[in-house]
Amino acid sequence: MANTAHAHAADPAGETRRDFLLHTTIAMGAVGGAMMVWPLIHSMNPAADTLALSTTEFNISGVAEGQRISVMWRGSPVFVAHRTPAEIEAARKVQLSELRDPQTDEQRVTKGKDKYLIVSGICTHFGCIPQGVKVTEPRGEFGGWFCPCHGSQYDTSGRIRKGPAPRNLAVPPIKFLTDTTVLIG
């Protein structure tokens, strides 16, 4: 018996029905794969409640000179200090060679708003919350903040001066929207 393979009928462009089915299957597989991967990628986006916490807006008009307040940003405290001229002068007199994490006071405040210092309220040693916001709390030898967990002391610019903390209190991203309204984040 002779082998009688039937030739597939080809269209004028030279493509067969089998080619059409192959291309259609590949296209449907790609669309199906994208539809399966999209929910996975979308689930990695932050939730709406998390995005709402990504910025905090507050008014500093009620913060008197020499007073400190604490506001919450991303579930953590942020210290806002309305510094006195004496505190600003003391912070600027410090030699960078005396600092473990050298930063000038000018690098830690917003230009033109240097009487307001805004720093993270988390100690850089083990994440405790330093004291020094309330007048009755200890502020350490340098008049800034004192971490009761291991004795780290920060100056009036939030720079580490004594104790085991390796870095200064972090300065969060801030923007003055008006003279009295601040946006963190």
> Could you read off the pLDDT tens digit of each residue along the chain, which spans 185 residues?
555 555 555 555 667 888 889 999 999 999 999 899 888 888 888 787 776 667 888 899 889 999 999 999 888 999 999 999 999 999 999 999 989 999 999 999 988 888 999 999 999 988 899 999 998 898 889 989 999 999 999 999 999 999 999 999 999 999 999 988 999 88
- Same domain for 104 and 143, yes or no, is yes
DSSP for 101-115, please give it.
S---GGGGS-TT-TT
What is the value of pTM for the model shown? 0.71
Whether residues 153 and 172 share a domain: the answer is yes
Q: Is 8 a catalytic residue?
A: no
Q: Measured on CA atoms in the order 106, 109, 113, 118, is the torsion positive or negative?
A: negative
**Domain-embedded: residue 122:** yes
Tell me the residue range of the domain where 40 lies: 15-45
User: Contact, 85 vs 150, CB < 8 A?
Assistant: no
Same domain, 62 and 19: no
Question: Given this model, what pLDDT does residue 27 score?
Answer: 94
Query: Is 75 within the bounds of a domain?
Result: yes
Per-residue model confidence (pLDDT) at position 185: 84
Of 45, 62, 83, the one marking the end of a domain is 45
CB 131 within 8 A of CB 147: yes
Are 62 and 21 contained in the same domain? no
- 39 shares its domain with 68: no
Q: Are 82 and 158 part of one and the same domain?
A: yes
28-32's contacts with Cβ under 8 Å and 24+ in sequence apart are none
Query: Do 130 and 73 fall within a single domain?
Result: yes
Rounded to the nearest integer, the mean pLDDT of the chain is: 87
SS (H, E, C) 40-101: HHHHCCCCHHHHHCCCEEEECCCCCCCCEEEEEECCEEEEEEECCHHHHHHHHHCCHHHCCC
Query: Does 23 share its domain with 88?
Result: no
Same domain membership, residue 95 and residue 37? no
- Total tally of structural domains belonging to the chain: 2
Same domain, 41 and 95: no
Co-location of 41 and 81 in the same domain = no
Note the pLDDT of residue 112: 83
Strands lying side by side in the sheet with 76-82: 68-73, 76-82, 116-120
